């Protein structure tokens, strides 16, 4: 198996359609003048040319969430007796966040320090986090308002990412960062990307 994979630009949608058979996939799309992360729909164009206006935080850490559901049941023979059935809402699907920027992926590591610690664990956050694979896209030309280099990071930082994409002249190089990233490389039909690594390094500099 190749350490990294290469995919021609015209095959990106084919890749995502294949991933969508197993995962719930969120991709950046253009809505009016803003780029937002939405569930992948076949035939709908992706927007990978600029960062999203809002980060994908809500996919793993939603602003509101149903933690559990409960049901009251009366005893038909004795209405004074009531049983309560409680069910936690933790049946989260396997998910992919595709095409977010490295700074957004790194942001999840900040939440990890708060919600996944030896002292305190948020089981809902942890389960969503564990079931989510983050495929980031390195910034070839950082926006004027970006400041990743000012905080000791860069446009191709891998912290928080599972698989890092770099846009090249004819396609994208995919380099796995974690085991989850390696599984994507194994499962999808990539070309061997090893001979594109030098080109990717020049783009990232």
Q: From CA 37, how far away is CA 29, in angstroms rounded?
A: 6
Q: What confidence tens digit (pLDDT) does each residue in 79-112 have?
A: 888 888 888 888 899 999 999 999 999 999 999 9
Q: From CA 169, how far away is CA 96, in angstroms rounded?
A: 25
As a whole number of angstroms, the longest Cα–Cα distance in the chain is 77
* Residues across the chain: 205
Domain boundary assignment for the chain: 5-52+90-204
What pTM was computed for the model?
0.89
Q: From CA 190, how far away is CA 174, in angstroms rounded?
A: 9
Mean pLDDT over 51-79 rounds to 90
């Amino acid at each position: 198996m190749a350490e990294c994979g290469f995919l021609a630009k015209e095959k990106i949608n084919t890749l995502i359609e294949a991933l969508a058979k197993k995962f719930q996939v969120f991709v950046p799309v253009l809505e009016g003048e803003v780029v937002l992360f939405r569930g992948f729909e076949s035939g709908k164009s992706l927007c990978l040319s600029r960062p999203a206006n809002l980060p994908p935080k809500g996919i793993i850490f939603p602003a509101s969430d149903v933690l559990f559901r409960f049901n009251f049941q009366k005893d038909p023979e004795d209405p004074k007796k009531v049983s309560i059935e409680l069910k936690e809402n933790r049946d989260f699907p396997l998910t992919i966040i595709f095409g977010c920027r490295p700074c957004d992926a790194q942001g999840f590591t900040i939440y990890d320090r708060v919600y996944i610690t030896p002292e305190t664990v948020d089981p809902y956050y942890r389960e969503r986090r564990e079931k989510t694979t983050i495929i980031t896209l390195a910034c070839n030309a950082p926006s004027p308002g970006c400041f990743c280099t000012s905080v000791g990071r860069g446009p191709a930082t891998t912290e928080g990412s599972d698989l890092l994409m770099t846009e090249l002249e004819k396609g994208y190089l995919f380099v796995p960062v974690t085991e989850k990233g390696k599984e994507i490389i194994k499962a999808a039909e990539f070309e061997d990307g090893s001979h594109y690594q030098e080109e990717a390094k020049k783009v990232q500099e």
